Amino acid sequence: MFSIVPTKTVSPDATEHQPAAKPIEQVQPVVRQEGLRAQFVALGRYMARTEVHTYAFSVAANAILSLFPFIVLLLTVSRRVFHSRAMEAVVGDMMKSFLPVGQDFVMRNMQLLAHPQKKTQIFSLVMLLITSTGVFLPLEVALNNVWGVKENRSYLHNQAVSLGLAFAVGVLAMTSVAFTSAQKTVLTWIFFGHTENFFFNFFAYWFLKFCAVVAGILIFFLIYWVLPHRKVPARAVLPTAIVIGLLWDAAKHLYVLALPWLDFQSVYGPFYISVGLMMWAFLSGLLLLAGAHFSATRYTLWLARQAKLEESSDAGAE
């Protein structure tokens, strides 16, 4: 696992005396005032903290390392398990919708790596298992901080949760690919095989876009819901996951528009694609952490407000 987040070694005797995490109802909100202004001010202060940028960069580095083995795995499963060239083409289209830069270059080389080479496929799977845990380790630490959890999972527990999340993301991706491939088959039947026209391309493009956005929202939701080392209600993170998923898609288009002004190629030469992907992964990590902090702030404020209402009703009853 590759991570730049320092880990803290704790003796067995010390862990036995560590207090359990407070119930979520007892977590104090980071802001005392109601209203969006106070929440956004607190969010701005949180995003200016150095450790937040450390977490985001660690996530970005491991995300880039796991991205290419993940694409190879999706192409291999489509080709070797489902024996579907249509699904393989959908994987390429979907990855192009996720990547902001170098889409053709990346997918062309991933197609070459996914050719029947057993050693390459096994190595891709091993690298995916290693780097995916490196993605989720700093995220767990960051999400534990925003939810008031003082103790992180043990190493083996974190590995198990990370592998489970990686598997869930893979299943989610293949499900999206299967739905999109089936939709294209149905559209081809509806249009009597006449696929070279505006309406077919319009429906196919927007269904692919819809599946990609939904997949992104579900990935954010799984991270927000599963990764913190405490039980987080789904209703606390689902609205934020939807908003962050939509913002992430919009931010990708803004990033693509900004690329000519950033002009990575003039600075980094042939490595500009890797730099562009790394920068986008870093910005995605910051956006993910911003959503985590905002959801925790809103939900703890709501719990505090509900507690005050209950106290007032109890006092009135007496």
- DSSP letter string over 208-230? HHHHHHHHHHHHHHHHHHHSSSS
Domain that holds residue 182: 33-311
Counting every residue, how long is the chain? Answer: 318
Distance CA 74, CA 293 (A): 32
* 203 located within any domain: yes
* 1 located within any domain: no
Tens digit of each residue's pLDDT, the chain (318 residues): 444 444 444 444 444 444 445 666 556 666 666 778 888 899 999 999 999 999 999 999 998 888 888 888 888 888 888 888 888 888 888 887 788 888 888 888 888 777 766 666 677 777 777 788 888 889 999 999 999 888 888 888 888 898 889 888 888 888 888 888 787 778 778 777 777 777 878 888 888 888 889 999 999 999 999 999 988 999 999 999 999 999 999 999 999 999 999 889 899 988 898 899 999 999 999 999 999 999 999 988 888 777 777 776 666 666
pLDDT at 30: 65
* 76 located within any domain: yes
* 26 located within any domain: no
pLDDT at 170: 85
Helix axes 272-317, 118-146, angle to 10 degrees: 40
Cα–Cα distances in angstroms (integers) from residue 92 to residues 71, 72, 88, 153, in the given order: 9, 10, 7, 36
* 12 located within any domain: no
pLDDT at 148: 86
C-alpha radius of gyration, the chain, whole number? 22
* Number of domains the chain contains: 1
Distance CA 237, CA 259 (A): 32
* 209 located within any domain: yes
Cα–Cα distances in angstroms (integers) from residue 219 to residues 11, 46, 252, in the given order: 34, 23, 16
Q: Token digits for 5?
A: 């987040």
